[in-house]
A and B are shown apart, each in its own frame.
Chain A
Amino acid sequence: MPRLHRILFLTLLAAIGPVSHAHAQDHSGNYPPIAIENGALLYGANCAQCHGIGGDTVPGVALKTGTFKRAPTDQDLARLLTTGIPGTAMPATRLSPGEADSLVAYLRTMRDFNSPAVMAGNSTRGRGLFEGKGTCTTCHRVNASGSHVAPDLSDVGANRGADFLWRKIQDPSATMIPLNRPVHIVLKSGRAIDGRRLNEDTYSIQLIDNQERLISVMKSDVKEFSILKTSPMPSFKDRLAGQELADLVSFLVSLKGEN
């Protein structure tokens, strides 16, 4: 497997640059970068074996042109991908609507991506860093080992793109998604609780605190409730070398959940 991830990561890093700058306006600009990234991952996993990384290995099909006779609109294209093309080798693929949209975003923008080799990550080395020098497991858990304090990353590769992960490790606060914001609570009794929200409604909060305890808080007992915008996760920008960061991202991208 590492090989596939390597290829993927390579394509992705190649992709990221131009997406947000240069000649992005007319194509990529129409699709959210995160969708394009996810689409690139899905493409590598489901399509590249036939169509090739460059989209040109099926005779008569040049995916990079971004225009398809059979699928003038994005909706048609999404449909074509899920149904396949009956009577040809183009198979039906089971995709959630979000996945189909991501693939469409990638296909429509593929021509924006050249494939200069940027930097290849090695996911086996990445795993070693995750558990060792990177100290990631002191906070995170992957496949039943590690701490519960920070989000479980067992399927982070299925939910987040490589670009996001790359930036996450280097600038955790800037990339913190609202759902992951840590909370600081002081109860009327004076007790302070720091942790991560698992759920919340108008009257109560369910969280896991920094001692890995599942805690229920009634809002009527709360004196102070703050949602922090600074991540407890340290930046690894200066702690790890460029190659090590690439290895780590390659490993994270490979985490697709256990089944």
Chain B
Amino acid sequence: MSRRFLIALLILAPMSLSAQVSSDRIVNAAAEPQNWLTYNGAYNGQRHSALKQITAANAKNLELKWVFQAQNLGTFQATPLVVDGIIYTTQAPNDVVALDARTGRVFWIYRYPLPAEIRICCGQVNRGLAILGDTLYMGTIDANLLALDAKNGKPIWKTKVADNALGYALTVAPLVVKDKIIVGVAGGEYGIRGFMAAFDAKTGKEVWRFKIIPEPGEKGNDTWAGNSWEHGGGSVWVTGAYDPTLNLTYWGTGNPGPDWNPDLRKGDNLYSDSVIALDADTGQLKWHFQFTPNDAYDYDSVQVPVLVDGNWEGKPRKLMYWANRNGFFYVLDRADGKFLFGKPFVKLNWASGLDANGRPIQTPQPPGAETFPGLAGGTNWFSPSYNPRTGLFYVSAWENYRNVFEKTQQEYQAGRQYTAGRGGNPIPTAPNIPTLRRGPINTWTEAQGTGVVIAIDPKTGNHEWRYPMTDVTDSGILTTDSDLVITGGREGHFHVLDARAGQLLWKTSLGGPISSGPMTYAVDGKQYIAVNAGNSMFVFGLREN
């Protein structure tokens, strides 16, 4: 090696090293708002960006910069990552794409070969990637975890996480913590036994595993009558949060199995429908809080935990805000899981309230009567946002929405759906399970419920403002330091709202339902907003002239 070459290498090396996404960079993601380094943009799950070039005053000058059309008809649920001008995202079912963030042109595309037969309840979807160093990580719906070279999309390792023949799948975007890749498993409609697991980023070897449904001898197993724990569900399909100072990672868990007949699994059914706080190095449970014990409605708690350092009743406290699918908004202390506050944010009648510990006082409705909220919940997996400048929590919700739940007897059969009931629609001939792939005609009708963006004051649970929509919404929310609330809905409208008063600043119609979270990034000092609608990703920026 010549001397000159060596010097050149030494000069270049730091540059290429700094281009790598180190775990420190992820911890300090807020310091580089031009990038979006994790599913939620930062470990705190706030989905709030410090970018403020796009403002209330100039939002009217937003224009389409480019569109990426996924050559696939699955719903587009991923939130893209942006690293120094490159977008990494996934399109259904398990394709990974690297795009030029300024133009939408493709650097490379990787198509993961899926087996012909896949067991997945609710569409072959993927919610995105994680990155560490120069390696991308993706969970696959056949329950593998994959490491890919970010430069060319070639696989580096693949680890089998669970058995898809039994209904286990990975749809969640993994979370990188230090040198580990953390995922949970989907499959709550197949009688799986949910777990979280961490894998060594370099080798793909499993480092720890936390069983969400404890087995005999483990704490919490006594919350399951008989052998019901064996198919207890407790899936995880939305990315959790991480607090580096406490070294705890927080994840919301899914419904107990089978979904709709709680008599088949008497007891509280830990740790289903809960938030669990795990030691990020060992996977050990530090605390848990269960939102819906012995759930009869499929109220998965797979929402993004939103971590906020703030004052609670005058004292500084490490808080966690949570608008749950069960219709209650919660405030918890995230150091110890203590319940601080809870209040319904939509109409609900499955519980009359929460007791002093946050446990719901359940009021099951008689057979044939309507239960609010319905099975898709008051909100669901679509990410909320918190803006530290306004102190408000923003969530996409379904209002006046209900089902008539029925329980049936069902025996578990490996690899078959295990739900033991249904949520029937009380509105004659109206569509029942609200599939994301509804056609362009709104057949939902206001009689079934409507969509709304709610700005919640976390101190009181009061609605600071509301932006109602005719159809329901599955869109996540983004907020910015310029006090914008950016979101969409099933109608395909993409909205920029004012964060303080909720009025509409700008909108456009994207012609397909928005069923993922919008995000923002910058390249060469220009701010962009990216959002998926229908089968395409749309990127907006300010008009230049």
Whether the Cβ atoms of B408 and A179 lie closer than 8 Å is no
A198–B441 alpha-carbon span in the complex (Å): 8
The count of A-to-B residue pairs whose CB atoms sit within 8 angstroms is: 55
Q: A75: CB under 8 A from chain B?
A: yes
Query: Contacts A32-B424, A201-B491, A202-B491: A178 and B445 contacting too (C-beta < 8 A)?
Result: yes
Q: B442: CB under 8 A from chain A?
A: yes
Whether the Cβ atoms of B406 and A200 lie closer than 8 Å is no
A73–B447 alpha-carbon span in the complex (Å): 32
Query: In whole Å, how far is A108's beta carbon from the nearest beta carbon of chain B?
Result: 10
Whether the Cβ atoms of B442 and A160 lie closer than 8 Å is no
Whether the Cβ atoms of B408 and A74 lie closer than 8 Å is yes
Number of residues in B with C-beta < 8 Å to the partner?
Answer: 28
Cβ of B446: which chain A residues have Cβ within 8 Å of it? 178, 227
B471 CB contact (under 8 Å) in A73, A198, A201: A201
Q: B416: CB under 8 A from chain A?
A: yes
A179 CB contact (under 8 Å) in B424, B429, B471, B507: B429
A75–B410 alpha-carbon span in the complex (Å): 9
Q: B191: CB under 8 A from chain A?
A: no
Q: B417: CB under 8 A from chain A?
A: yes
Instruction: Write out, one digit per residue, whether chain B residues 3-42 have a CB within 8 A of any chain A CB (1) or not (0).
Output: 0000000000000000000000000000000000000000
Query: In whole Å, how far is B278's beta carbon from the nearest beta carbon of chain A?
Result: 34
Cβ of B411: which chain A residues have Cβ within 8 Å of it? 72-73
Cβ of B430: which chain A residues have Cβ within 8 Å of it? 177-179
Between A75, A160, A198, A227, the greatest number of chain B beta carbons within 10 A of the residue's beta carbon is seen for A75
Whether the Cβ atoms of A201 and B470 lie closer than 8 Å is yes
Query: Contacts A75-B416, A198-B441, A201-B471: A178 and B427 contacting too (C-beta < 8 A)?
Result: yes
Instruction: Write out, one digit per residue, whether chain A residues 224-259 have a CB within 8 A of any chain B CB (1) or not (0).
Output: 000100000000000000000000000000000000
In the complex, residue of chain B having the shortest beta-carbon distance to the beta carbon of A180:
B429
Q: A216: CB under 8 A from chain B?
A: no
Whether the Cβ atoms of A179 and B489 lie closer than 8 Å is no
Query: Contacts A75-B416, A227-B446: A202 and B427 contacting too (C-beta < 8 A)?
Result: no
A199 CB contact (under 8 Å) in B441, B469, B507: B441
Cβ of A34: which chain B residues have Cβ within 8 Å of it? 428-429
A72–B410 alpha-carbon span in the complex (Å): 9
Q: A115: CB under 8 A from chain B?
A: no
In the complex, residue of chain A having the shortest beta-carbon distance to the beta carbon of B429:
A177
B493 CB contact (under 8 Å) in A160, A199, A203: A203
A151–B469 alpha-carbon span in the complex (Å): 26
Whether the Cβ atoms of A202 and B493 lie closer than 8 Å is yes
Q: B235: CB under 8 A from chain A?
A: no
Q: B443: CB under 8 A from chain A?
A: yes
Query: In whole Å, how far is B410's beta carbon from the nearest beta carbon of chain A?
Result: 5
Query: Contacts A178-B445, A201-B470, A202-B469: A30 and B408 contacting too (C-beta < 8 A)?
Result: yes
Query: Contacts A201-B491, A202-B471: A160 and B410 contacting too (C-beta < 8 A)?
Result: no
A34–B425 alpha-carbon span in the complex (Å): 12
Within 8 A of B (CB), among A160-210: 160, 164, 177-179, 198-203
A30–B448 alpha-carbon span in the complex (Å): 22
Query: In whole Å, how far is A165's beta carbon from the nearest beta carbon of chain B?
Result: 12
Within 8 A of B (CB), among A71-115: 72-76
A159–B417 alpha-carbon span in the complex (Å): 27
A34–B416 alpha-carbon span in the complex (Å): 26
Query: Contacts A75-B416, A178-B445, A179-B443: A200 and B470 contacting too (C-beta < 8 A)?
Result: yes
Cβ of B507: which chain A residues have Cβ within 8 Å of it? 203
Can you give 30 contacting A-B residue pairs, CB < 8 Å?
A30-B406, A30-B408, A32-B424, A34-B428, A34-B429, A73-B410, A75-B417, A159-B429, A160-B429, A164-B428, A177-B427, A177-B429, A178-B428, A178-B430, A178-B445, A178-B447, A178-B448, A179-B429, A179-B430, A179-B443, A199-B440, A200-B470, A201-B442, A201-B470, A201-B471, A201-B491, A202-B471, A202-B489, A202-B493, A227-B446
B residues lining the A interface (CB < 8 Å): 406, 408, 410-411, 413, 416-417, 424, 427-430, 440-443, 445-448, 468-471, 489, 491, 493, 507
Question: Which 8 residue pairs spanning A and B have beta carbons closest together?
Answer: A178-B447, A201-B491, A178-B445, A202-B469, A177-B429, A202-B470, A199-B441, A177-B428
Known pairs A76-B416, A160-B429; list 19 more (Cβ under 8 Å). Answer: A30-B408, A73-B411, A73-B413, A75-B416, A75-B417, A164-B428, A178-B427, A178-B446, A178-B447, A179-B430, A179-B445, A199-B441, A201-B470, A201-B471, A201-B493, A202-B468, A202-B469, A202-B470, A202-B471
